[in-house]
Structure 1
Amino acid sequence: MRGITFLIAFLLVCFDGFSQVVPRFNPDTIQTIQLDSAVNITAERLSAETFIRAVTTDTSFYQSFRNMKKYAFTAENSIFTYDKKNKVKGKLYRKIRRNSKAPWITYLSKQDTGHVFKKNGKYELYTVEMFDYIFMNAYQSAYTSGSGIGKAENANAGYKEKLKTLIFSPGRPVKGLPFIGDKTAIFTANMRQYYDYNFYSATYLDSIPVYRFKVTIKPDLNKGTKDGLMIKELTTIFDKRSFEILGRYVDMKYSNMLFDFNVQMNIEMQYFGEEKLPAKVSYQGNWNVPLKKPERASVLVLQKDYRLEK
């Protein structure tokens, strides 16, 4: 139960509605997309169903994370933790070089300040541990072919695999997450009555023509209904030329007797040669569960300089 609770909590900012707090520092200042205009549905012969099918059937987005293991690359990880007033409490920065010929990494720079680790050397926040599981494990393990999410070796790993599903396959139900597993299935017939589906023409990275498919809660719903919907926004960026997914932004917020969370996560890809590979991941989130310390954290992951080594 502990693992499930932490997984639910990780995925998403404990929000104190009764007090005013200082706005949080956002480490992600890189702007990559510029909105052009709403798409003319008749001219483009597109509909919301076109994008929904693409979102729910796509496997290439997750496969791009697996494909990066074939490459050598440089990565920068910046992690910030916050106190209850949203002031920076701790900071961890790592610059990493990965060798594609061996499953290990070299630290080019590594420094931490403030409250990041416990006295026993473990992370203070489960949020940070979860990010390490996803990214450091990917950096240090060898490439294997296939597009599915891996099998869990134990219960805790199983919860982390469910986390991957929530990140890489939004819009699908997630079995084994009490109280919220079905709330992620925002494209079912029952859930569609609560959401608006819009798509726009845009430019990504100054040169790539894309569609931005945006799913948001209907503005005229009553507050109780809105509060019961976990996914507040899901935006997906499609390359117009291939309909490949290049980016995903998700805004999730939910509260009940067991936990409160409010998280925003953004994942972006870039082309390196002909390969689509992860370039940026940003996370902003706080969560709170009974008898545990509230966790407030931001994460920015940048990956670049991909190259195949002979």
Structure 2
Amino acid sequence: MRKFLLLLLLSPALSAPAQDTALYKGMTINLDEVVVKAKRIGFDVNGFIKRVEDDTTFYRAFKNLRLVGFTADNDIRITDKKGGKTIASLKSHTRQVMNGNCRSMEVLDEKTTGNFYTKKGNYNYYTAELYANLFFTKGTVCGDGSGHAKGSLERHKSQLKQLIFNPGKPISGVPVVGSKVAIFDRDLMRYYDFSITSETYAGGADCYVFSATIRKDLGSIDRAEVVIDELITYFNKETMEIVGRKYSLSYKTMVFDFKVRMNVQMTKAGDLLLPALITYSGTWNVPFKKRETADFTAKFTAFER
């Protein structure tokens, strides 16, 4: 009996996964058992974190949508403040067609409810306008559209897209929030728990997973210094390409507040990295506009170059 009790007490410790930590520019990173073993046979933890920090492929993947033909399933819902009742919506199927360096869009079918459009046919909601700016094409557009944004509204859209689709990097020209998203900055690292784990992602890809999660013990003063609540990125072990990312952002002041969650799954078309599925859930409250709460799902298929 005494031997049995001793084994029972020891068994959790024996079966617990081996944990380890590593350092990167003052950042403490927790490693799971698989990563610890990989490190022993040559996995470069610092090199991996450097890749995460310097990555531009994720943001570029969204811009790559302007270089290929594709079919899109678009589902946008504007809801009440509690997120339960839909007050306006759009569901559509669209096809982007490429002609050399130029693109145009065909609306295969579309159904809207509520006041999704204004009487003049414009978008009645900021989320819809941003979605259209990202994934819809009006008329014929040539090039990838990466020129400098003109006007304050266009600059604001560009900055918002960087905030949403390039999380973790500082955003110039954005007061208050712009510097609070740079999670690799030494002043912000201390607010997060970092880890590298090994997981199987959707579709069966064996991945290294980098996670940055806001510390649970932060007080209200420290909490006001950060915008990214969670940033999780999945890297295919064989190619080290991003296959998925999920993240949440939030911030609150007396003047404005927002809370956004996104999940993005990637795919490849030839040598181009492209988003295959995007889900978004968010609420925004900015000066001179009503609070807007929305969800959207975008699915992209049938890529052609």
TM category (shorter chain) comes to 0.7 to 0.9
Q: Give the match for residue 179 of structure 1.
A: 176
8 A Cα contact 2:73 2:300, kept in partner? yes
Q: 1:283 aligned to 271, 280, 285, which one?
A: 280
User: How large is the Cα RMSD of the aligned pairs?
Assistant: 2.4
Deviations 1:148-194 (A, max 9, x none): x5422333222222223223332221111111111011111111111
Q: Give the match for residue 128 of structure 2.
A: 128
Q: Give the match for residue 114 of structure 1.
A: 114
Answering whether residue 32 of structure 2 is matched by residue 38 of structure 1, we say yes
User: Measured at CA, do residues 241 and 132 of structure 1 come closer, stay the same or move farther in structure 2, by a change above 3 Å?
Assistant: same
Deviations 1:275-296 (A, max 9, x none): 4221012211112134421101
8 A Cα contact 2:35 2:196, kept in partner? no
- State the AA in 2 paired with 1:256: T
- State the AA in 1 paired with 2:298: V
Deviations 1:33-81 (A, max 9, x none): xxxx935343222576444321221222233333333432110110000
Answering whether residue 95 of structure 2 is matched by residue 97 of structure 1, we say yes
8 A Cα contact 2:105 2:137, kept in partner? no
Q: 1:258 aligned to 255, 259, 272, which one?
A: 255
**Once the 2 structures are TM-superposed, how far is the Cα of residue 228 of structure 1 from its aligned partner?**
3.8
Q: Give the match for residue 243 of structure 2.
A: 246
Q: Give the match for residue 161 of structure 1.
A: 158
For the residue of structure 2 that corresponds to 1:172, the secondary structure is coil
8 A Cα contact 2:77 2:295, kept in partner? yes
**Alpha-carbon distance between aligned partners in 1 of 2:96 and 2:295, rounded to the nearest angstrom:** 23
For the residue of structure 2 that corresponds to 1:293, the secondary structure is coil
For the residue of structure 2 that corresponds to 1:280, the secondary structure is strand
For the residue of structure 1 that corresponds to 2:103, the secondary structure is coil
Answering whether residue 193 of structure 2 is matched by residue 196 of structure 1, we say yes
Percent identity (aligned) = 35
8 A Cα contact 2:171 2:179, kept in partner? yes
Q: 2:302 aligned to 295, 300, 305, which one?
A: 305
**Once the 2 structures are TM-superposed, how far is the Cα of residue 90 of structure 1 from its aligned partner?**
1.1
User: Within 5 Å, which residues of 2 pair with 1:209-248?
Assistant: 209-248=206-245
**Once the 2 structures are TM-superposed, how far is the Cα of residue 207 of structure 1 from its aligned partner?**
2.6
TM-score normalised by L of structure 2? 0.80
User: Measured at CA, do residues 139 and 78 of structure 1 come closer, stay the same or move farther in structure 2, by a change above 3 Å?
Assistant: farther
For the residue of structure 2 that corresponds to 1:118, the secondary structure is coil
Q: Give the match for residue 18 of structure 2.
A: none
Deviations 1:131-151 (A, max 9, x none): 111111499634559xxx542
User: Measured at CA, do residues 107 and 252 of structure 1 come closer, stay the same or move farther in structure 2, by a change above 3 Å?
Assistant: same
- State the AA in 2 paired with 1:100: M
- State the AA in 2 paired with 1:78: D
**Once the 2 structures are TM-superposed, how far is the Cα of residue 88 of structure 1 from its aligned partner?**
1.1
User: Measured at CA, do residues 220 and 48 of structure 1 come closer, stay the same or move farther in structure 2, by a change above 3 Å?
Assistant: farther
TM-score normalised by L of structure 1? 0.79
Deviations 1:83-105 (A, max 9, x none): 23321111101101121225211
8 A Cα contact 2:35 2:197, kept in partner? no
8 A Cα contact 1:150 1:161, kept in partner? no
Q: Give the match for residue 71 of structure 2.
A: 74
User: Measured at CA, do residues 152 and 105 of structure 1 come closer, stay the same or move farther in structure 2, by a change above 3 Å?
Assistant: same
For the residue of structure 1 that corresponds to 2:267, the secondary structure is strand
**Alpha-carbon distance between aligned partners in 2 of 1:98 and 1:139, rounded to the nearest angstrom:** 11
**Structure showing greater relative contact order (alpha-carbon pairs closer than 8 Å, 6 or more residues apart):** 1
8 A Cα contact 1:67 1:143, kept in partner? no
Q: Give the match for residue 49 of structure 2.
A: 52
5+ unaligned residues in a row in structure 1: which ranges?
1-36
- Equivalent residue pairs, number: 269
User: Measured at CA, do residues 66 and 84 of structure 1 come closer, stay the same or move farther in structure 2, by a change above 3 Å?
Assistant: closer
Deviations 1:114-141 (A, max 9, x none): 2312223222211211111111149963
For the residue of structure 2 that corresponds to 1:305, the secondary structure is strand
For the residue of structure 2 that corresponds to 1:113, the secondary structure is strand
